Amino acid sequence: MEYKKKKHQKILSQIQSCVENGDRFLIATHRRVDGDAIASILLFADLLEKLGKTYWIVIDDRIPHKFEFVKDIDKVVSYDKMEPIDPEIVAVLDASNLERIGRVGEVIPSGSTMINMDHHPGNEKFGTYNLIDIEESSTVELVYYLYSCFDIPFNKHTATLVFMGIMSDTGRFRFPNTTYRSFMVCAEMVKMGVSPCEVAEQLYYNHTPETQMALAAALSSLEFHQDGTISCMHLDNMRLGDNHLVDTEGFVDYLLQIKGTKVEFFMLEEQADSFRVSFRSKCDVDVNEIAKKFGGGGHKRASGCYVQGKLTDVKRKILDVIKGQMS
């Protein structure tokens, strides 16, 4: 992938030097981790491991059940179980701003050198070193380019991380962010021993019964608006509770399957009167712009935000913004 390494040669060289000269690293990513986030932080950690560095991986979250198959997943620590750390360099991966990493931001020492690697539009470039490329399918592709700078050979584990991250963030290679480079990188990873079937089985065909019951509840709330061009559903806090076996990532994608819809959104009540909203678009409507109106963001076809309020009020506010964006 010499094209990308050449395009980002200067910043990659700077980050490489930073990694080589550093000793103690904190690795963080956004809340509600997905496949790209997990792949990015573990691939970065593997690089540090190979270089003999000290590092901590901390997230403001729990690890979803479906990632238990990933090697070294036990090295990812929840903020609530974190022991005292003393990093000098912080690597924030797949997060457009520091608010996205939640409480982990509270343990970043003042004046820390910060590496920011991301592919989301609107990244605030908060790092000392910022490698941002919105043309990439995933953040793990950027970490892959950095890893390649060290001439450390990939093995099945690291190749699986790259493949998993790209597969996850491209929606199984069907989202518009899927590029020929993505396929080239994935083909290289398969050559190194990755089983696409195995990764897909673990990510998409390994749901807990609790997750499927939650999906059934969400689908039972399905509504259509604006002559069927907008679809939405929700899952309330009473249904979800504190069940760590429920993984709602991908629920909104079921709405994409409905003929005639253009914009879809899923409202998840994580706490009483506090909703995490996931948006999808099958048309020219930019749901990133919609999410930004509520303090969120993401991509043109896939984004998210948090909205406070009662279900009916939250739904009305969202529908008003979407209709305005569609008019």
What average pLDDT is seen over the chain?
Answer: 93
Write out pLDDT tens, residues 90-149. 999 999 999 999 999 999 999 899 999 999 998 999 999 999 999 999 999 999 999 999
**Do residues 186 and 214 share a domain?**
no
Place of tokens 């990755």: 194
Can you tell me the distance from the alpha carbon of 135 to that of 143, in angstroms, rounded to the nearest whole number? Answer: 14
**Do residues 256 and 313 share a domain?**
yes
Place of tokens 């009167």: 273
Kindly write down the DSSP assignment for every residue of 168-210, as one continuous string.
HHTTTTTSTT--HHHHHHHHHHHHTT--HHHHHHHHHS---HH
Domain that holds residue 37: 2-203
Write out pLDDT tens, residues 263-278. 999 999 988 999 999 9
% of the chain residues with pLDDT over 70: 96
Domain boundary among 182, 203, 224: 203
pLDDT band at 14 (very low <50, low <70, confident <90, very high): very high
% of the chain residues with pLDDT over 90: 83
**Do residues 218 and 128 share a domain?**
no
Any idea what the CATH number is for the domain that residue 72 is in?
3.90.1640.10
What global pTM score does this model have?
0.91
pLDDT at res. 1:
53
* Total number of domains constituting the chain: 2
pLDDT at res. 243:
63
- For residue 245, pLDDT over 90 is answered with no
Question: Residue 305 region, left (φ>0) first, then alpha (ψ -120 to 50), else beta?
Answer: beta
**Do residues 176 and 254 share a domain?**
no
pLDDT at res. 266:
98
How close are the terminal C-alpha atoms of the chain, in Å?
Answer: 42
Tokens, residue 292:
């930004």
Write out pLDDT tens, residues 19-42. 999 999 999 999 989 999 999 999
**Do residues 198 and 292 share a domain?**
no
* Least confident range of 140-149, 272-281, 292-301, 314-323: 292-301
- Bridge partners (DSSP) of residue 78 are 59
Can you tell me the distance from the alpha carbon of 315 to that of 211, in angstroms, rounded to the nearest whole number? Answer: 23
Burial of 315 (0-12, 13-18, 19+ CB in 10 A): buried
Any idea what the CATH number is for the domain that residue 255 is in?
3.10.310.30
Can you tell me the distance from the alpha carbon of 4 to that of 203, in angstroms, rounded to the nearest whole number? Answer: 28
pLDDT at res. 241:
54
- For residue 2, pLDDT over 60 is answered with no
